[in-house]
Structure formats: structure tokens, C-alpha cells
A and B are shown apart, each in its own frame.
Chain A
Amino acid sequence: MATFPEYIAQNEERDGVRFSWNVWPSSRLEATRMVVPVAALFTPLKERPDLPPIQYEPVLCSRATCRAVLNPLCQVDYRAKLWACNFCYQRNQFPPSYAGISEVNQPAELLPQFSTIEYVVQRGPQMPLVFLYVVDTCMEDEDLQALKESLQMSLSLLPPTALVGLITFGRMVQVHELGCEGISKSYVFRGTKDLNAKQLQEMLGLTKPAASQGRGPQTAQQPLSNRFLQPVQKIDMNLTDLLGELQRDPWPVTQGKRPLRSLGVAMSIAVGLLECTFPNTGARIMTFIGGPATQGPGMVVGDELKTPIRSWHDLEKDNAKFMKKATKHYESLANRASTNGHIIDIYACALDQTGLLEMKCCANYTGGYMVMADSFNTSLFKQTFQRVFTKDVQGSFKMAFAATLEVKTSREIKVSGAIGPCVSLSAKGPCVSENEIGTGGTCQWKICGLDPSTTLALYFEVVNQHNAPIPQGGRGAIQFVTQYQHSSGQRRIRVSTTARNWADAQTQIQSIAASFDQEAAAILMARLAVYRAETEEGPDVLRWLDRQLIRLFMFHLRRSPFLQVFNNSPDESSYYRHQFNRQDLTQALIMIQPVLYAYSFNGPPEPVLLDSSSILPDRILLMDTFFQILIYHGETVAQWRKAGYQEMAEYENFRHLLQAPVDDAQELLHTRFPMPRYIDTEHGGSQARFLLSKVNPSQTHNNMYAWGQESGAPILTDDVSLQVFMDHLKKLAVSSAA
């Protein structure tokens, strides 16, 4: 048997799952003592190019409360053509189509290497993908121009059958009718008045002539397009022109005022439009905003420039008068969208805040993207947006729609909840724990938007009683069933079944300890912390966290923007947390503890401690914080560069040295979504602050003794260094133990 790290890696590779413990304590009591719960980071759409799509439907356990999918862990009686469900032990007959089954002729789902398998559902119509652009027109001409170009470009990336729609807004909200010859039509709405779906339907003239909305046949007849959402292939030119003629919001903005931006109503209309035309069909509402909503429902700030947008300070003082109302508005939109399986993406490009704090749930509940940049005219936005439409080798988008994730567990373990871009479907069942962690109380979640890196944290609870025997078979199993709409329009079901050994904590504590996955646990705990931070008061969360353990990560986590709001705007915090909650483990780790590489003439690039002592004059540092890629030239290197040595042939090695981190950075930039901010700075540069704020302040103006020595640069901060933190932690650990 391989080592645990290998095992973990293999499991992650195969099933997209990482557990905090890979051997489970067999009783509830013991599990509780472990402090870190049994939990998993699950990436439902983990890229598996080798996965053959199965062209039939899964075989389900016949017990109504179980409905688990036939999997390699099931015991099969080939002669009797029976299989026993490994979750409920129900014995099931194979369906007639499995008549030819035998030991040598096993279906794919029974093969151990297919513990994760994907079925393609043949039933039902192929639903088109729907992309609805919601575009702010209150922005500088340059920005608008850049945005228009990006949008026009995106049309060419869409599959020809995809439906697109366009809503623009400023002071008013315009829903554009597409494909009109000779005249462009749009429906205009006041930006201050919210409309429900029914009103909207009437006003857009989308009322169906047939009065009743029957099921089955009628839903099948649903028109596949309407005046506002039409196939790209049909209205490509039209829409390109339309975007080309898009004007900046013409309403005058007097000095000292913000433009009136009806974001809240625009999003409401977008949600309403899809709600009444394509319910339960994968759709993306892509919202591009150049500033905060300043009127109508969802406004986050008034139009007076002299009143700044709310800060954490205001929030603490309960001084943000629009915040609660706006949050409520966006929450209701998010719920409506997620109910219908629609994604809301937010691309906010402005120098100031745009209200992401209030709108975060739109992206968080629906699995949408949240992208924050300074301007639409930056490569950060342009490339990020372009990357949304990345395709896999089969030419399909790397995105899935309207997914539901169902978790099935063995009897000894139950699911407490999930943290990630999902909403509860409130499905009660035998495997739902009474203790809720994150979004709990259900064994099914809706994830409207998925991409291969979308990762959920799922928390479990061992319910086996202390005196009960180790469960039969000695393994606890968990099955993840993800149904989703593939970007090709097919419905697919991906099933991952995993099992872990039970161990008695009293007798096998060593093996349990060995099975601890530190990284996964760190992220899982961090998500929990962030979740609490979002829902509870800040300081309490830090204190709670402090009472938990885990060393290194916790130090950085405390200082990370996920928990620390100092120096961050509410929007930034929301943005960081959003990303943290959806990225996979590797990315999440980087977010918590940035990676620092050093480049010097002394040897090949090497990772160095994220410590102020790593900042040396003759080094080039490359820091990756996930959100930023920063290249820092040490004092000496910077001087060399300024002197232009890299231009001289004899110093080619210096040129290479300079080039190396840049190349590495480019590589990172190209693979990451959203695209990080790329910073090139040097010793004493203003941007160097990004680096200085991240490193462990082992040397500060407070411990001057370190000065003059060969190492590092002092950081001007009152924060404690890791060393101090650790000392303190040890003291606490001892005292608490005592």
C-alpha cells in the first residue's frame, strides 16, 4: 500500500475528493474529540479526460429513501442477477438490459477504476445554452469601448446555437429585442421600480397565448427562442452592430453626482426574463458593472458624491443605510435565479467599490463568477472574460449548468452541510445530520454554475455510537451524485463513490493520525472560518479560530483578507471570500499562504519562506497570492536593471535572471481564473507593499536587533511575527491542556 500522501493524491486525481481524515474514527465521541471534523473537499467536475461517457442511465437502488447508484463497492450476485446496495443493504434486481452480466462481462460502473463515472442522459430535449449580457452604460467611453469589444469578441466564442440576449442599463434599463431589421428595438424600464416576473412577462409581451402551463408535452413545446434571446448564428451581425452602437448613458450627470445606475432593476429584469422564458435551463446572466447601483432597489449608495460608499467602519457602526435593503434585494434575486438554475456572473470594474458586498450572494448562491478589476480596459478583465469561454479538448465549454449534488452516506455517517457556491434544495433524508455546518439540513444542493475547479467543502458527522461495533465491512462509504447540464446541452450524471476505513480511535489512533490530511483540513477549517466570518461578528471568529489548532496556516489565515478586513473594502473582502469558497484546494492554499519563489545567481529558483527575512537585495522574488502575481526586484537587482546591464551581451545571464520570473508568472497568469493582477516592482517601489504585507514580519522596527544583518528587510508593522504567534500558541495549548 502506498503512503497516505500518495493515496490522497490518487483519490483526488480519480474522484476529486480530499478528506480531512482518511481513516475515520468509528464513534461519534471519538470523532468529536478529533476537533477537525470528518470533512471533504469535493470537486464535482474534476477534469477527467479519460472518463468514458456512459450512454445509458444509472441503475438505482430500489429503496425509495436510498436511490443510491450502482457502484464498484456493491456486492453483485452475477448468477441471480442481483446486487446489494452498499448504503442500505437493499438487494436489487438488475434491470433487463443487464441480462448479459457476468464476472467477465461487467458494466463500467462496476469496475473499480470507475469509482467515478459519468452517465449521459438521453431523455429530454437538448437545451440550448443561454447567455444574457447585462451591461452597464454609465462608464467612461474608453471603458465602454473596451467592454463592447470584449462582448463582441465573446460572440465568436459562443456555440452557434447558444441563445444570447442583451440588457443595458444606466438611468433606465433597456431590454433589447434582437434580430430586428431596419430598426433596433428595445423595451425600456424605469430604474427605480422593481417588477416581478409576471409583470415583466406582460410588459415584454411574452405572455403565452395558452393559458395553462401544463407539464410534459407543453413544456416540451416551449419555444426555444424569443425576441430577446436568439441563437448567435442568427443574430450575430445584428448584435455586433447593436453593441457597436451602444452609447454611454445619455442622461446628464451634474457635477458632484454619481451617474444614476439602475443595477438592481437591471438584474431583476434579467432574472425575471429568464425566469419566465427558460426556467430550469442552464443560463448565464453576465453582469458588467462600472460602478455601484445608485438608484432603485438594490442601490448601495446615493448619487451624491460627497457621501462615500460604505466602508467596514460604517458597517460596524451600522451606518450603511442601504446595505440591508440592497442585500435583501440581491438575495431574493439570487434565490430566484438559483431556483431556476440560472447563473449570475458579476464583472465589476471600477476603481471604487461597486457593491459586491451586497451582491455577493448572487454569485455565491448560483455558482457564478465574481471578477473585480479596476477597469474594463485592463487585460485582467479582458483575459479573464475570455477565459470564461475556455473550451476543453472536445470543444465544449468548461462549464456546466443547473447542477444538483446529492450526497449519500453509509448509515454510520451523516452529512452536516456544505460550504461553497451552492444553495440547499432542502432534501431531507436518512443521511442528513441534525448538526448543521454551513448550508446544512439537506442532502441535496443546487449548484447552478460549475466549472472543473469548483470545489465544495462537505462536512460529515460520525453518528455511530461509542459502544457499537465497527460497521460491517469496516468501511464507510460516501457517494456523490452530480446531475448537471453539460455545455453541449446534454444532461449528465456524474457519480463518485468513495469509501474509507473505520478505526477505533482508542486502539488505532496512530493510523488515524497518520491519515490526517493537513492541507485539506486547513482549507476545510478556513472555509468554516470564512463562513462564520460572513455570518457572524468578526472578532468572535478569530477567537474561535484561535481555539482550534493547526499551526502555520492559521497564522496566515488570521492575516488573510478572508478574515482580516483591515485595509480591505467590504467589496474586496467579499471578492476574496467568494474566490476562496469556490477554488480547489491548491488554489485555496495559495490564497491563504502565498507562495514565494526566489531567483538569484546563487542557484535555481527556489521556494523560500514567506518571511521578511527572504527579502534580500540580490534576489528577485516571485510571489503568487492567487489574486496577485508579484515580481519583486531586490535593491541591488533593481539598481542593475536600472543601469541597463541586461541590455549588454556580456550580462546575458542577468537578462535571463530577469526573464525567468516573468516567464513563470506568465505561465501562472495563463492558467489561472480569474486572472491575477500582475505586478512588477522593486525595492522601495510603491507596489512593493503587496509583498511586505504578506510576509511574516519576523523583522520589524520593533526588533531592531535584526538590522544590519545580512538578512531581509524590516516590515513596519505592529503585527506579531509567526515566532511570537507560535510561542503564544504553545503557551495556550499547554495551559488549555492543563
Chain B
Amino acid sequence: MNVNQHTPMASPYGQPQPGYGQPGYAPLDGGYPAPYAPYNGPASAYQPGAPQQGPARGPPASGAPPVSAPQPYNQYSQSQGDMQNGPPLMTQAPPRPAVSQPYNHGAVNLPGPQPSFPQHYGPPPSMQQVTNQMTGMQIASGPPTPAGPGYAPPHSSQPPVSNAYSAAPPPSYTHAPPPVSSAPTQPPPPSGPAPSQQYYGGPPPPSQQQFNSSLPPTSQQQFTSPAPPPSSQQSFPPTSYSGPVPPPSQAPAPQVSQPQQPFPPTQPPFSSAPPPVSQPAFVSGPPPPAQGSFPPRAPPPSSQPGSFPPPGPPPTSLPSGQYTGPMPPQQQPPPTQPSPYHSGPPPPGSQMPPTSMAQSNHLPPGPQGPPGPPGPLQQHPPQPGMPGGFPPQQNGAFGQVRGPQPGYAGPYPGQPNYGAPAPAPAPAPPAQKRLDPDAIPSPIQVIEDDKAKSTEPFTTGVRGQAPPLVTTNFQVKDQGNASPRFVRCTAYNMPCTADMAKQSQVPLAAVIKPLATLPQDESPPYLVDHGEGGPIRCNRCKAYMCPYMQFIEGGRRFQCGFCSCVTEVPPHYFQHLDHTGKRVDCYDRPELSLGSYEFLATVDYCKNNKLPQPPAFIFLIDVSYNAVKSGMVNIVCQELKTLLDYLPRENPEMDSMVRVGFVTYNKVLHFYNVKASLAQPQMLVVSDVSDMFVPLLDGFLVNVNESRLVIESLLDQIPEMFADTRETETVFGPVIQAGLEALKAADCAGKLFVFHTSLPIAEAPGKLKNREDKKLIGTDKEKSLFQPQVGFYNTLAKECVAQGCCVDLFLFPNQYVDVATLGVVPVSTGGSVYKYTYFQAQTDKERFLNDLRRDVQKLVGFDAVMRVRTSTGIRATDFFGSFFMSNTTDVELAGLDCDKAITVEFKHDDKLSEETGALMQCAVLYTSCSGQRRLRVHNMAVNCCSQLADLYRNCETDTIINFFSKYAFRGILSNPTKAVRDTLVNQCAQILACYRKNCASPSSAGQLILPECMKLLPVYLNCVLKSDVLLPGADVSLDDRAYLRQLISCMDVAESHVFFYPRLLPLTKLESGSLPVAVRDSEERLSKGGVYILETGLHLFLWVGASVQQELLLNIFGTPSFSQIDPNMTSLPVLDNPFSERLREIIDSFRAQRSRYMKLMVVKQEDRTELIFRHFLVEDKSASGGASYVDFLCHMHKEIRQLLS
């Protein structure tokens, strides 16, 4: 969130509040009461409630004012419930329910805020506040032990959360009890109850420090409780948060019991609990103040209770209702603004009960009313009560609030909302309630659950089955569909119709990594040779022979699974069918039984109908002053001497067929003739860069073994020759042109390795200007900075693609080099860009060399064309990745290596049938590194569904995030960054809202219900939104953003996952054979006494706590003192102890997993470098204004509620 907003907001609020304070608050309070009232009688309830509470809140209001700004954040309160649902279903329903509950709460809270503050993400309250709130919330839930239990049973992951919460919350949870009660009740209405757990008045907390408190909004925790229901809810339960439902049966009971207990305490807890919570989490200043203010408020709450009691009962009765209470806000969007906060607060009061979990918020109120009512309420709410009740509450609250707002609105146009919120915050009480981070869906939990679940090899034969997560180690057995290592889909059950797809907004996409490397124990695709006629294909759509082809007429013909066209089987391919209609040789032929295989292409598939030449690698090295001085030239030349022995080859026994060539350049180019027959290399200087050409033919591209001596002599001399260079200007366009021309002259495809240091300002085609202008960031012109500066490189890229010339760019910039422009060619040709800013031989050599080695050695195909065919009804409409397209269907890749993934989006153009499902076939025609022309085919079949529920049950969040990130990162080329972010949030909200509307069992609107498969969607999406590309910090350069943008575009799911949600492992204990269980990316998960390792796929940090145990230090660094750790070390000392060995082993294994080498950075707590490290703690609020997880969840909830109302 934007800090700025806060401050301003605060002041305005502050002022207004006073005046409004009472009235506004009153309303707010009323709002809450109203919620309850709603149960009884919405309309009336509101008013009455309002007044009553109003006063109470009034006081808090004062406190709130400052918070006000933050309030919006509260709204973010997130819902974890959904996630939980999933799990519960499977085994431990109860636990999940708990989760679900939180969601509900969250929902509740959200509603309020959403209406008015949807956009406020940025600002999300200060971390502290958030945490406070969170804690409050969670605590509430926590206390409710129920949650704890609930979670516990469900899944380890969740359980932990719950536990955590329980700890703190217990007391507060007393309120929980109410939820519990609700739970019980809920059982019947499974979903309903769950939802009931509103977050809490999550909103309230926000009020004060909206964002900080973002946590509060998250009251969600409450949802946890609901989790259980899942079971009850059919398949959906999980999603719906029915989770809660499950509880009904088993979990419910426990929860109930607990919740109930909690609730009672809740009230007390509120006052007390909140504060403590806040402190622990965010301790920092903010919380205290909040607390301080809260305390006072606390009283009000108490007062509220009083008031609540009356309403409370009803609401409580509907714990859900209470939560719903929050929900109402949604319905009553208008009031929303204020309501958010209010909602927050109210929930606490009234909801308390319902939210057994979330309770913290609710608790206060809940306890009183909730307990009793919960049971009944819950039931009621589900039906009419819920909605009705909530709306009223919120409405009431909002309405009132708004009342005041109007006035404010005037003064603070645009911000009026905030103003409103402010008041809401005022309801300090809410502030107290915090969303316990442990109560919201935990990525770690989900990952661990999936690992636990995936013990068997994954077989691809079953259509529509989602594979294990990318974070899980599993074996794949190809039984007719492509391995998830090659193809991953966002949805394994596609909606049958375009309408459904549109309604759900779930992107239908596949991430395809055609040449992915397979683990040792999985065999690479078989090579099939269909003889001179080439691969057998469908006559009409040209799909290649695959398991989806149906043989008919005794095997004489086959019907295409994609277009239904019937094609004759060529005589040489004929085979009889068995009694089931399968060909007898079905299992002897990979193309009839497997999902992935390769065809040997015939000359018809070659350029110019000529079999291709083996490809060539050309190394183009910048030898300007900077390049020499940084040591780059020397390193590259030294390394190439050995690296050239490891050029890619298909048969390890044979020498590589790849030929090599060398060019150096500054503002002129130097080609080298290294023909074997020469006594010494020849250098050919081309100064006429305006019209590039290759000065020699014979001797430029040579076989390494034949010319070894000459090449070595050359590589020895290059650094010497340019050691004293004073040339600082470089060219770039002509360099690529040179490589391209060389390949053209040799009539082969190939790859250019360009080692470049600076902005090409020398007079030549493709000359660039320095256009880095920080003033443009955040404006509508920002997008232009991501677009290439000149059109030259686009044209050049096109030519490169036509020749099959792939460009890999290694950048060593000391200043702005315009990656956005320089990267055009690499990105369009399927190449990679590597960037080593401020390269220094000493510290960056290892990273660079490892990247280079890998890049040179990896398997790569050239001159590739990829075509995705689909069954009638859908079609591939959009493609993301590193490639070039000259028409709408063919993806042209000058080079395609094993790390490149292409994301393909599908759209309906007709109906699909559930019977046949949807088929897709990705065929990649490429030239292998030995010069063989081949076709790699990946087949994928997914189910089609006519029920949205099926869609939501079989989708993959990681893949969706992969798609979203690529979509968004491309979007910023043509749209303002802010618009892109908004679009993402909207779509995500729509997805979840659609689920809520169509798949979740009825529940209070205040509940945040997430589909089980998507419960991490908010947290991951938030990571995307916070990424440097979409939300740059002050220290993030334009080049870095452009670099990341391009990098993401070809990432596969595993890479994008860890990139957005880094892996953080505690290193206190290391066991061989298994990794420690990761912890969530939040500072509060770090123990001062511990050491953690964090990897993102690009970075690797070793974080050392300030009070780390000496033993650990000795084991790792060989020094007993924290202060003696050298923060500049890039590799750990080799020490002879098991711990050190294992740690280094782990680091090595991490590096081995990633396509780029990660330099190790040691971060000492409270050291300057910690700032960098913190940037990757993505669940926390980021320095650049990114919302914390909790805040965002609240916000998302708000958005959803807004959509639903």
C-alpha cells in the first residue's frame, strides 16, 4: 500500500472523525449491531445498532482516525478458508473447516472495505497494524482451539497455523466458541457456518492502521473453522469452505466446543488479547498505538457487547451471520467504505461468536451474542439470515458511515472512501482484531500436503487429473498424455462452453516446455521413424498420429480426434485391430500409446527442402574498456578453452557436430579465422558497421577438435591484444547482424553468445540513447520504457528467426544499458538474457561461468516451429514466451532449449463435449544439435465439464499464476502498470466470486470462501502484484524490471512458482536425505537464533539471526562470532562437519535445480543487506508498498463481496 496515502488519510480522518466520529462511528457500531440486527431484522437493526455502537466506537474512532487510512487494507483481510477446504475433503476434514472459517470472516471484513477501498492495496496498513490485526484475528481463531484442532486434523500445515493461533487467541477465542457453536450448527448448513466466521471485524483494525493492520482485515482466520465442512460439502465443500461444513460432523464438534469456549473469553481477550497479539507480530510502534487506542475502544466494544447482546444473540446465533455481518457490507456496498472498518469492528462485536476462529474480531462481540446464537444463527444465516443479516449490518454501518463521509467526500474527493474507512477504523475495536497469519491459507501447508499425498508415480493415463504440484518430487509414467514436466494446464476440466469459461474467468492455458529435461529415471521421448513418407497425419487438420486417433474399418482408416476427419492408413502403416478396436501393435508404437514422442522429419519438413547442416555456435565478445577492465574478457576466453569440449551432442560417444566461430568487438568488429591449417589465427577487422557483412567464409566456423591449437592460441591472445584498449564505445546491432550473416553464409542455424557491457552509443545501426527516466515511472508513459527504443531490433529479430539464429545475451552493465531494447532479439529468437550488474571478476565469476557452462551445454533445438492443435471447440489464441510469430498459429523459435516454456492460452470457439474432452497436440519441428530434423509431439487430453464446480476442483494455481504473470508482464508494454495490476486483481476476484456464487454452498456473504485448488491464489497473486516489475521499489532500475519481465516470459511453472514465492528453509537441524520443512516468507517466521536459506531461482540468501547459536556459526562459518561473518562471502567455507557438508549439499542441489546459477549472499540480521533479503519475504508488506498477504487477502475478500453483491 502506499504509505503516502496513509498519512494523508490519517490526518483527514483524524479531523473528520471527531466530528463524524460519533455519528460515523455510531453508524459503524450500528453497522455491527445492525449485522446482528439483520438477523433479527436488518433494517431496524442497523439503525439501532448504529447508534448504540456509535458511541462506543466513537472513542475508538478517535484512535481510528489515524488508522483510517489503513483501514482500506483491513479490507484485504484474506480468506484462507478455501484452501483448507480442499484438504479437509480428503482426509482431515475438520482441520480445514477451521480454515474455511477464517475465510468467512475474512469475507465479512472484506465486504466492508472492498466497496470503498478496493484500490487501496498499496497502502495496506503498516505491517504492524496488520499483524496486530492478524494476530488478533488469528488469535481469536487460535484460541478457539477448535481451529487448532480443526487444522491439526486436516493437515499438518494448516494445523500448525491453527496451533499458532490457538496459542495466542485462545483467550480471545473464547469467542471462538460461538463459532464453534456455529460450527455445530453449521454442520447442517456446512458451508454456511463456516463462512460465518467472519474475519472479525478485521475491518476495525484497519480503521486505525488500515494497512498495517491489514491483518485485521484478514480476520479470515476465522474461516479456518469452516474448513471442516468440506467433507460435508460434496466435492465443493472444500472450495466453498464448506470446509466449515465438515466441521459439522466431526470437526465441528470440536470446534464448536472450542469456539464456544473461546468466545466467551473472546470478549476479554479482545481487550487483552488483541494487544498482545499485535505486539508479538508487529510489535513495532504502530501496533502499540493501535492497541493503546484500542484499549479505550475496547471499552466500547464492551459497551457494544452490551448492545450486541441483544443483537448479538441473533447474530451470534448465526455465527455465520455475524460473519455474515461483515458480509452484509458487501451487500451494502454503499456503506461499504465505512463499513469495511465497521464491518471489521462489528464483526468483532457481533460476529465474535460466529467467528469462533476469526473471532478475535468477532470475539469481542461474538462472545456475548455469538455463543448462544451461533448455533441457531448459523443455520439461519445460511438461508436468509446470512445475507439479510449481513447486509443490514453493513448497510447500517456503512450507511451511517457514509453519512459522514459525504461530508468528507467533499473535502477529500477520491479519498472519501478512506475517510469513511477512517471512521471505521475508529472502531478501534476492530483494530484489535487481527487476522492471524497462521489462519490464512499457507503455501507451505499446501506444498507439504501435496508432497505427502504424492507417493505413487503419477500416471498420465487418466484424463482430467491434475498432477502433483511442481514443488513435489514425483515420478511420471506416460500413459498417453504428456508428462506434466512437458505440459501443465491451468484447468484439467475445461468448461464446455464459452459462457462458462467467461463466467468463471479462470484462464484456460497450458504451460508447455517442449524440450524439458527429464529426471534420470524417466526415459526421454522415443524417436519414431515413419519412413520416407514422413509422419502419418490427419488429412484435414494435419494433426500427427497420436493415441487419440481412432482406427476404424478394421484398421484401414483412422478418424482424427481433433477434427473428426477420416484418413486412409497408408499401406505400410496398416495393422489389424483387436476386439476392442485397438490396433494390435498399439503398445509397440510410441505414437499410439504415449503422450510424448518424436518423429524423424523428412526433407519435406526442412527449409528449402534441404536437410539441415549441423548448427554453429558463435561467440561474440565485447572487448571495450569496461569489458576488459571488469575481467570479463579474460574469464570468457579462459573458460571457452575448456568449455568448447562440452558442446551439446546427442551421442555422448561422439564429438559434437556443432561448429564454433569467434568475434570480438568494440565499435568495430573483429572476426577470426581459425582454420585448422593456419599457423596462427587471423583477425579480420570490419570497421564498416553501417552495413555489416561477414568478411570470411572458410575458417570462421570450425570444428573444435580440428582447429584446437589455433583456437587456443586465439583465446590466449584476445585478452592480451585488448589489454590496453581505450575504446569505450560499443555497437550492438551490427554484432548480431554479423553473427546472423555468418550463419547465413554457412547456411546453417545456430546460436550467438553475445557478451556485452554497455549501451551501444557508437554510430551504427541500432544505436541507442540513454532514456532511463525515473520520472516516467508510475505515469502512463511508463510503458514506453519497456518497449524497444528503436524498431531496428525488431526487424533484425525477424531476420534472425528466419535463419534460425538464436541469440543469448550476457550483459555486464555498469549503468543503464536498455535491456528492454537489447533484449528484443534474444527474446524473439528463443534466447536468454543474463545480466551481471557491476560485474566483478572476483565475486561474480562463479555465477557467470556456471551460467555460461550451462547455457553452452544444454540441449537445444534450432529453427523450430511449434504448432498447437486442439480439438474442435477450443483453439489456441495467445502465446507467451520467447519466440516470434509471423502468423497467428505458428510459434517460431530460432532456438528452443530445455529451459524454455511457452504458455498457451485457449479460448472457446464452440462447445466442447464432456464425452470426448478437450484434446491438444503440441508439435515442435526442430533441428537437433547434430543437425537432424525432428518433430516432437506432446499430446494432452483434459476433461470437459458442464459444472463450474468441476472446473474449480481440477485446476492448478501455480499454472494460473504462471499465466497471470506472463499476461500481466506483457500487459505493461501497452497499458499503465496500475491498470495491469487492477486487471489482475479483478480477474482474480471474479474467479473467486464466481466460485463463491456457483459452487460454494450457501453461506454468509461475509465468509471468504476459496476453492481448495485455488486457496493460494490470493497469496501468489499478491506476490505477482508486488514483483519488481509491477511495483518497483525506488532502488529497482528500469533495466532490472525489463530483465525480469523478459525472464518471466519463458519460465515454466516450477520456476515461476519459486520466483514469486521463494523457498525459505530453516537450517537449525539438517538431516541427510530430506530437507527441512520450509517456512512461510514472512519476517515473523524468522527466529533471531536461527539461520535460514532462501532461494528464488535467481537469488540465494543465507540469513543469519543476530543471536544465532554459536554452534551453528561454528558449523557453518567456522567462526564463533556473529560479527566475524564476512558478509561478502559467496561460498561457504568447506568445513569438516556433517552440518556444513549437508548445508553445502543442499545449496548445491538448489543450484542444480535451477536453470541459472544462484550466487550465495550471506545476510546478517540487521545488516544493511537485510533490506534486499526482506524484499523476498513476500508475505510481508514490502518496502515498495506491496501489500502483505493478510492485507491483500482482506482486500480480495472485499472485492469478492463487491462482486457478489
Contacts and interface: CB of A to CB of B under 8 A. Distances in A.
A183 B697 contact: no
Interface string B57-77: 000000000000000000000
Contacts of A183: 680-683, 713-714, 717, 721
Contacts of B693: 172, 190
A190 B688 contact: yes
B121 interface: no
Contact of B671 (A188, A195, A203): A188
A189 B713 contact: no
B1034 interface: no
A185 B683 contact: yes
Given A172-B695, A203-B668, A250-B698, A182 B684 contact: no
Output the residue of B695, B713, B721 with the most chain A CB within 10 A.
B695
B688 A189 contact: yes
Contact of A187 (B687, B713, B721): B687
Contact of B683 (A186, A189, A203): A186
B678 interface: yes
A303 B9 CA distance: 79
A174 B679 CA distance: 19
A184 interface: yes
B699 A250 contact: yes
A499 B693 CA distance: 63
Interface in A153-203: 172, 174, 177, 180, 182-190, 193, 195, 202-203
A245 B699 CA distance: 13
A204 interface: yes
B696 interface: yes
Contact of A186 (B679, B685, B691, B717): B685
B686 A188 contact: yes
A185 B683 CA distance: 4
A251 interface: yes
Interface in B374-432: none
Interface string B1002-1045: 00000000000000000000000000000000000000000000
Contacts of B691: 190, 193
Contacts of A177: 685
Given A182-B713, A203-B688, A188 B695 contact: yes
A189 B692 CA distance: 10
Given A183-B681, A183-B721, A184-B682, A250 B696 contact: yes
Nearest to B718: A183
A663 to B, nearest CB: 46
A250 B684 CA distance: 14
A708 B670 CA distance: 76
Contacts of B670: 185
Nearest to A188: B695
Q: In the complex, which range does the number of interface residues on chain B fall in?
A: 20 to 34
A738 B1134 CA distance: 121
A174 to B, nearest CB: 7
Contacts of B698: 247, 250
Nearest to A248: B698
A27 to B, nearest CB: 62
Given A172-B693, A193-B691, A187 B685 contact: yes
A86 to B, nearest CB: 57
Contacts, number: 68
A245 B678 contact: yes
Contacts of B671: 188
A251 B697 contact: yes
B683 A184 contact: yes
Interface in A563-621: none
Nearest to A173: B695
Interface string B713-727: 110010001000000
A187 B683 CA distance: 8
Contacts of A241: 679
A172 B697 CA distance: 11
A174 B695 contact: yes
A182 B685 contact: no
A372 B683 CA distance: 33
A177 B687 CA distance: 14
Contacts of A245: 678-679, 682
B699 to A, nearest CB: 7
Interface in B661-719: 668, 670-671, 678-688, 691, 693, 695-699, 713-714, 717
Residue of A177, A185, A195, A202 with most chain B CB atoms under a 10 A cut-off: A185
B621 to A, nearest CB: 15
Contacts of B714: 183
A277 to B, nearest CB: 16
A185 B687 contact: no
A184 B679 CA distance: 10
A180 B699 CA distance: 19
A141 to B, nearest CB: 14
B680 A204 contact: no
Contact of B680 (A172, A184, A188, A193): A184
A438 B687 CA distance: 42
A186 B682 contact: yes
Nearest to A202: B687
Contacts of B681: 183-184
A193 B688 contact: yes
Nearest to B671: A188
Given A188-B671, A188-B685, A182 B680 contact: yes
Contacts of A172: 693, 695-696
A460 B305 CA distance: 131
A396 to B, nearest CB: 36
A202 B763 CA distance: 12
A404 to B, nearest CB: 35
Interface string B906-926: 000000000000000000000
Contacts of B668: 203, 205
Nearest to A187: B685
A161 B184 CA distance: 109
B688 A186 contact: no
A37 to B, nearest CB: 51
B20 to A, nearest CB: 74
A180 B721 CA distance: 10
Interface of B: 668, 670-671, 678-688, 691, 693, 695-699, 713-714, 717, 721
Interface of A: 172, 174, 177, 180, 182-190, 193, 195, 202-205, 241, 245, 247, 250-252
Closest 8 CB pairs of A and B: A203-B687, A188-B695, A250-B698, A187-B685, A185-B683, A188-B684, A184-B682, A250-B697
Given A186-B684, A187-B684, 4 more contacts: A172-B693, A172-B696, A183-B682, A251-B697
21 contacts: A174-B684, A182-B717, A183-B680, A183-B683, A183-B713, A184-B683, A185-B670, A185-B683, A185-B685, A186-B682, A186-B684, A187-B685, A187-B687, A189-B687, A190-B688, A202-B687, A203-B668, A205-B668, A241-B679, A245-B682, A250-B697
